[in-house]
Amino acid sequence: MDNFRNIGLIGRLGSGKVVDTLRRLKRFLLDHGYTVILEDAVADLLPGHQQQVCTRKMMGEICDLVIVVGGDGSLLGAARALCRYDVPVLGVNRGGLGFLTDISPDELEQRVGDVLAGKYMVESRFLLDAFVRRDEEQLGSSEALNEVVLHPGKSARMIEFELHVDGQFVYSQKSDGLIVATPTGSTAYSLSAGGPIMHPKLDAVVLVPMFPHTLSSRPIVVDGNSELRVLISKQNGIYPQVSCDGQVHIACAPGDTLIIRKKPQKLRLIHPLDHNFYAICRSKLGWSSRLTER
């Protein structure tokens, strides 16, 4: 187990509940002899904190553990920044569904204390790298823990594109776009668009068409190491966008190419020992309980 001494704190901005939880967490960690390092944006929320402050990038270099207080969106942003430093990340849920941030504020001290005592499990979650190219020029790039989405932006018109997987032509399509989701993202936007739920341990990617102009288009699951190329038709009358985790946006033009592949670095996501993916699905997605008691 990792020996956690320097612990970084990241929190969602604009929430009084997050600030309250950050204060509790800081007090708990300091009382137990840990070094607390605050992200610069969080430090402004805690006047008089008297703790070390650093950027998110530096936090990845000097921390043994980073705790994110907020919703899944907060953890997505942290994951994209921290995965390259191999620092483990723990999420405290102060958001909505909380598929990734699974520690409840009501159990904060007990659950965090268990993790610091070595009672935890670690999951490796892979991310996607997305690149937009025009001829040989790279226009933009980003990574995504949940999904990369090609979509029409503010336009209501369809996009025409070609999909290639590992150099093999798959199909041409007219639709509102394409969602390329990891197993982590299969319970997010992909699920809303009719994609399958994928267990986080799967090494696979799902491609989900968005309102395709054909009844035969269905989600496709491919190997996680596949290279995907989406060629945006030159005949398009709109300029679509590529969004990564719904937080980073890259503008595209007709004729551009979107390339997606697995990121070499992975996110180390920490959970309490009783973490159960299926139990989370039952709770968050409202699945029915067992028919009979045993």
Pairwise CA distance, residues 238 & 28, whole Å: 53
Q: Is 191 annotated as a binding residue?
A: yes
Candidate list 31, 72, 114, 166, residue with the active-site label: 72
Please name the amino acid found at residue 282.
R
What is the CB-side half-sphere exposure of residue 158 using CA atoms within 13 A?
A: 12
Indicate whether 290 belongs to any domain: no
Q: Is 187 annotated as a binding residue?
A: yes
Residues 245 and 137 in one domain: yes
Residues 107 and 234 in one domain: no
Residues 240 and 208 in one domain: yes
Residues 214 and 281 in one domain: no
pLDDT in the model for residue 294? 53
Active site residue 86: no
Residues 199 and 241 in one domain: yes
DSSP codes, the chain: -----EEEEEE-TT-HHHHHHHHHHHHHHHHTT-EEEEEHHHHTTSTT---EEE-HHHHHHH-SEEEEEE-HHHHHHHHHHHGGGT--EEEEE-SSS-SS--B-GGGHHHHHHHHHTT-EEEEEEEEEEEEEEETTEEEEEEEESSEEEEE-TT--S-EEEEEEETTEEEEEEEESEEEEE-TGGGGTHHHHTTPPP--TT--EEEEEEES-SSTT---EEEETT--EEEEE-TT-SS--EEEETTTEEEE--TT-EEEEEEEEEEEEEEEETT--HHHHHHHHHT----SS--
Tokens (6 digits) for 256: 């551009």
Residues 220 and 168 in one domain: yes
Residues 71 and 33 in one domain: yes
Residues 64 and 166 in one domain: no
Residue with tokens 């990617």: 205
Provide the residue range defining the domain that includes 31. 6-119+273-285
Q: Is 147 annotated as a binding residue?
A: yes
Pairwise CA distance, residues 116 & 272, whole Å: 10
Nearest Cα to Cα of residue 42 among 119, 120, 94: 94
Residues 46 and 99 in one domain: yes
Indicate whether 76 belongs to any domain: yes
Total of domains in the chain: 2
pLDDT in tens, the chain (294 residues): 578 999 999 999 888 899 999 999 999 999 999 999 999 999 988 888 889 999 999 999 999 999 999 999 999 999 999 999 999 999 999 877 778 998 999 999 999 999 999 999 999 999 999 999 999 899 999 999 999 999 999 888 899 999 999 999 999 999 999 999 999 999 999 999 999 999 999 999 999 999 998 888 999 999 999 999 999 999 998 999 999 999 999 999 999 999 999 999 999 999 999 999 999 999 888 887 666 655
Pairwise CA distance, residues 239 & 186, whole Å: 27
Indicate whether 1 belongs to any domain: no
What long-range pairs does 84-88 form, CB within 8 A, spacing at least 24?
84/60, 84/265, 85/60, 85/61, 86/265, 86/268, 87/8, 87/59, 87/60, 87/63, 87/268, 88/2, 88/64, 88/122, 88/268, 88/269, 88/270
pLDDT in the model for residue 138? 95
Which CATH number is 216's domain given?
A: 2.60.200.30
Q: Is 155 annotated as a binding residue?
A: no
Q: Is 157 annotated as a binding residue?
A: yes
What is the CB-side half-sphere exposure of residue 265 using CA atoms within 13 A?
A: 15
pLDDT in the model for residue 13? 86
Q: Is 129 annotated as a binding residue?
A: no
Phi and psi at residue 73, to the nearest 5° = -60, -40
Q: Is 146 annotated as a binding residue?
A: yes
Q: Is 176 annotated as a binding residue?
A: yes
pLDDT in the model for residue 292? 64
